[in-house]
Chain A
Amino acid sequence: MIGVIDYRAGNAPSVMYALHRLGLDARLVAEPAGLVDVDHVILPGVGAARATLVSLSDSELLEPLQARVIADGMPFLGICIGMQVLFERSEEGSVDGLGWLDGEVRRFPDSNRVPQIGWNAVRFTRTHPVTADLPDPTHCYFVNSYYSVPASPEDVLGVTDYGVEFCSVVARDNLIATQFHAEKSGELGLRLLRAFAAWDGAAC
């Protein structure tokens, strides 16, 4: 059973539609009790980092989520803002993130149109069970004004160019997160979701 964290500022419905299409068992998780018997968890996200963190903490999901993901090592997939909030801090409203990964989140320079909206190429820098079946590069759908800068280069799994080369997929231990919207990246995005559902959380 995959738990999809549901909070007001998120786009949990799109993720649920995608998981259902793949025939996977998934449920929306809006309160701590919903996390007890799930074996995978997805943190979707659109919009603003601050709104995401505020609504997560209002729902009292933060602590139990941390317990399941960090202490128990449950496989975790963050999407878009669900990737950005994993880092220590963000330039967006100078907000503090969860700090599960070392690094920060920066705004794109205005030399390109911001937000970045559209399909861009993800090039993989190493192999990982969740991305193993994807072509290299894979074109995925992005919507973002900010991008993640992991402090440890070994956490980077995929990179993308938009004026700057940025980390578009990050992975460490049982955590993987994509800046693009896997649930909106067509068949290849669905393929990534399927691989995540089959993943046991071991990095190799």
Chain B
Amino acid sequence: MLTKRLIACFDVIDGRVTKAQQFQDNIDVAPATELGARLYDDQIDEIVFYDIMASAQKRKIDLETVRGVAEHVFVPFTVGGGVRSVEDMYEVLKAGAEKISIDSMAVRQPDIIRQGAEAFGRQCIVLSTQVKRVEPRAEIPSGYEVFIDGARVATGMDALEWVRRGEDLGAGEIVVNSIDKDGTASGYDLEITRAVADAVNVPVIASGGAGTPEHIADGLTAGGASAAIISSILYSPRLDRNLGVRELKDALGTLGVLMRPWVEDAGGEAGIGR
């Protein structure tokens, strides 16, 4: 049986992981390479890295930090931010990522999804979406609108129509990132997560709002997600108490969610040469 995945999310500025709240007010957490190595040792299932300033600063992605994390992390590693072309994707993959996350760029130029899937395979292209609850109207029948550019710009696009189109174009996974819930530690937006999971046949990843193991379990069961992106719960300085990966997985197991079993005698392999 395929297990559910816990994905640690790194919002990176100048090589350091930061933590935002509703896409604003980023505060510093730790160097990305250091946090990557620590979470790998803690047996995180996957890591996603967003170079969150690359688009705004109109520069290429920070490949040096991508490489630094990839050298320490032997679980899947997705990278996004500042990717504008197939050649950019190739550079990121060469630096050691397995998957490319595209978000605002895909809205501006949807064909990049198709081009990326054609060049590197569908499994390589993760379509990340920023969605916000709005009053349903003719062009937004689901009541969830797609936003871009760090949740600042409304697109007038319906979230469900966009993810269906993204899947048709070749996206291999879809991230549903709730703007309303981001950094609030009040639980995922289960309604839109479930609606997206029902609308597409590729894996769906819940993002934005997990504050407790129960929230994560809800996203993976009621929300229909295959994986859960977490960050605050692991390392937000805003929370009184952070939880480790093992604590989370034990709690999720108790809540009936099938997770990758803990490897008891790990550390022997990667410990060599450190």
**Residues in chain B near residue A191, CB distance under 8 A:** 268-269
Does B3 belong to the interface (CB within 8 Å)? yes
Interface residues in A56-110 (C-beta closer than 8 Å to B): 81, 110
Known: A14-B70, A22-B269, A113-B201. A118 touches B172 (CB 8 A): no
| Residue contact B119 to A9, C-beta cutoff 8 Å | yes
Does B93 belong to the interface (CB within 8 Å)? yes
Q: Report the Cα distance A17→B3, complex, angstroms.
A: 26
Question: Number of contacting residues on B, CB 8 A?
Answer: 44
**Residues in chain B near residue A119, CB distance under 8 A:** 2-3, 5, 45, 260
Interface residues in B1-39 (C-beta closer than 8 Å to A): 1-5
Does B71 belong to the interface (CB within 8 Å)? yes
A13 CB to nearest B CB, Å? 5
Q: Mark A12-34, 1 if CB is under 8 A from B, else 0.
A: 01100110111100000000000
Q: Mark A109-135, 1 if CB is under 8 A from B, else 0.
A: 010011111111100000000000000
Chain A at the B interface: mostly helix, strand, loop or mixed?
mixed
Which of these, A14, A51, A139, contacts B119 with CB under 8 Å? A51
A119 CB to nearest B CB, Å? 4
Does B237 belong to the interface (CB within 8 Å)? no
Which of these, B70, B202, B203, contacts A17 with CB under 8 Å? B70
Q: Report the Cα distance A151→B121, complex, angstroms.
A: 26
| Residue contact B43 to A23, C-beta cutoff 8 Å | no
Determine, out of A35-43, A166-174, A179-187, the stretch whose residues face the partner at the interface: A179-187
| Residue contact A118 to B202, C-beta cutoff 8 Å | no
**Residues in chain A near residue B128, CB distance under 8 A:** none
Q: Report the Cα distance A143→B120, complex, angstroms.
A: 13
Taking residues whose C-beta sits less than 8 angstroms from the other chain, chain A's interface range is 35 or more
Q: Report the Cα distance A48→B172, complex, angstroms.
A: 13
**Residues in chain B near residue A139, CB distance under 8 A:** 3, 260-261
| Residue contact A113 to B202, C-beta cutoff 8 Å | yes
**Residues in chain A near residue B56, CB distance under 8 A:** none
Known: A113-B202, A118-B227, A119-B2. A184 touches B122 (CB 8 A): no
Of the listed residues B75, B90, B267, the one surrounded by the most CB atoms of chain A closer than 10 A to its CB is B75
| Residue contact A47 to B123, C-beta cutoff 8 Å | yes
Does B138 belong to the interface (CB within 8 Å)? no
A85 CB to nearest B CB, Å? 13
Which of these, B1, B74, B95, contacts A184 with CB under 8 Å? B74
Q: Mark A160-204, 1 if CB is under 8 A from B, else 0.
A: 011000000000000000000101111111110010000000000
Does A147 belong to the interface (CB within 8 Å)? no
| Residue contact B270 to A190, C-beta cutoff 8 Å | yes
Known: A47-B121, A139-B260. A13 touches B3 (CB 8 A): no
| Residue contact A13 to B1, C-beta cutoff 8 Å | no
| Residue contact A14 to B2, C-beta cutoff 8 Å | no
| Residue contact A14 to B96, C-beta cutoff 8 Å | yes
Known: A8-B90, A13-B96, A14-B96. A47 touches B76 (CB 8 A): no
**Residues in chain A near residue B74, CB distance under 8 A:** 17-18, 21, 183-187, 189-190
**Residues in chain B near residue A194, CB distance under 8 A:** 269
Q: Report the Cα distance A46→B2, complex, angstroms.
A: 19
Of the listed residues B3, B5, B121, the one surrounded by the most CB atoms of chain A closer than 10 A to its CB is B121
Instruction: Identify the A interface with B (CB < 8 A).
Output: 8-9, 11, 13-14, 17-18, 20-23, 46-48, 51, 81, 110, 113-121, 139, 141-145, 161-162, 181, 183-191, 194
Q: Can you pick out 18 interface pairs between chain A and chain B where the beta carbons lie within 8 Å of each other?
A: A14-B70, A17-B74, A22-B269, A46-B98, A51-B120, A114-B201, A114-B202, A115-B122, A117-B226, A118-B3, A121-B1, A141-B75, A145-B123, A186-B263, A186-B266, A187-B267, A188-B263, A190-B269
